[in-house]
Structure 1
Amino acid sequence: MQLEVKHPDFQSQRLEVKCGSLFSGSKLKLNGTDLKKVKGIYTVRADNGKELSVQLKHNFFDPIPKVKIEGKIIELATPLTWFEYIWIGIPILLIFVGGAIGGVCGGLAATGSGRLFRSDRSAVSKYGLSALLTLGAALCYVILVTVIHFVLETT
């Protein structure tokens, strides 16, 4: 997913954010070219020739970052609501039941739920599919623990 950054210093150029996947972070692009970041900061030449510092600020389990240009925050999408964050974070509770294994299963499910809530699906399908991801994470946890227990018991 690529989102255009609306900023007055980039009228004749196209500044956009390519949202990351599960295993890669978001990237900043100028006129279709990936920009390099140094210590988390991109240096971008604006329309007037001035170099601006740009940062991508990530939120917890939200795949769409905020863009910070010279200290000013730009929202690329409507922020998730508090109850959406609560719903997305429910699988993280597996960490209290299952430690590291529960945390991995819950973290993957929460990341998937965050991506679901940023999709174009209806609200009912977002919540329903997110609930299925949570149940799937719990089932995955139980299967993993059972397999590990069985392997350790037989050796």
Structure 2
Amino acid sequence: MKHKFQLLDFPNSNFEIETSIWTGKSKLLKDNVQVEQSKEKGRPFLIPNGTSDLIKAFPKQSFPDFIPTLEINGVKNQIVEKLKWFQYVLGGLPIILLFAGGAIGGAIGVVGAITNFNIFREEGSEASKYLKVTGVVLATFTLYFVIVTFFSILIK
């Protein structure tokens, strides 16, 4: 997942963060140049500030999002806008499959929920976002029931 953003500490720079939902690792780019990540505790990104100094930006997880915040000098900087509570509820509906369908349902549900949260953050009309999210919710449940039916037939 890639997200473009700006930081108040760097008003003339454009940032992009790429976060892997599988490994949890992030890659930060400042003006299309990858920023080095330190090996010290907290694994801060070392952002050059134009002089010879490096500013430490600590990536902090922000549940339920998979996109971290960046903490600079004790101030948490939101990378993406937080979703509204009802967007989390609607987008997270596929997670129900975790409780009803075990590992297979959980895997399908998590992928569906992450897809929905990304759809809500896309550019475009609100109506189209809600239609897409509703489609993903229906598709995840349908996919789960197709897989369960297939395995039941296969086992019999």
TM superposition score category, shorter chain reference:
0.7 to 0.9
User: Quick one: higher RCO (CA 8 Å, sep 6+), 1 or 2?
Assistant: 1
1:25-70, CA deviations, whole angstroms, 9 ceiling, x for partnerless residues?
A: 5421133211232353212222343222112334346465422212
Of 25-34 and 119-128, more deviation after overlay is shown by: 25-34
1:5 is aligned to 2:6:
yes
Query: Is contact 1:61-1:110 (8 Å) kept?
Result: no
- Identical-pair percentage: 26
Q: CA deviation at 1:21?
A: 6.3
- How many residues matched? 151
1:45 maps to 48
1:110 is aligned to 2:109:
no
1:60-87, CA deviations, whole angstroms, 9 ceiling, x for partnerless residues?
A: 4646542221221112343211111111
1:17 is aligned to 2:20:
no
CA distance in 2, matches of 1:82, 1:35: 33
Question: Counterpart of 1:67 in 2: which secondary structure?
Answer: strand
1:82–1:145: structure 2 CA closer, same or farther, 3 Å change rule?
same
Q: CA RMSD in A?
A: 2.4
Question: Counterpart of 2:147 in 1: which secondary structure?
Answer: helix
1:84–1:63: structure 2 CA closer, same or farther, 3 Å change rule?
same
Question: Counterpart of 2:4 in 1: which secondary structure?
Answer: strand
CA distance in 1, matches of 2:73, 2:16: 16
CA distance in 1, matches of 2:31, 2:132: 35
Question: Counterpart of 2:16 in 1: which secondary structure?
Answer: strand
1:86 maps to 89
Amino acid at match of 2:17: K
CA distance in 2, matches of 1:148, 1:67: 44
CA distance in 1, matches of 2:33, 2:140: 37
Query: Is contact 1:17-1:26 (8 Å) kept?
Result: no
CA distance in 2, matches of 1:73, 1:115: 21
TM-score by length of 2: 0.81
Query: Is contact 1:109-1:133 (8 Å) kept?
Result: yes
CA distance in 2, matches of 1:61, 1:111: 10
Where in structure 2 are the equivalents of 1:23-62 lying within 5 Å? 25-37=25-37, 38=39, 40-60=43-63, 62=65
Query: Is contact 1:91-1:109 (8 Å) kept?
Result: yes
Query: Is contact 1:61-1:114 (8 Å) kept?
Result: no
CA distance in 1, matches of 2:151, 2:44: 43
2:69 maps to 66
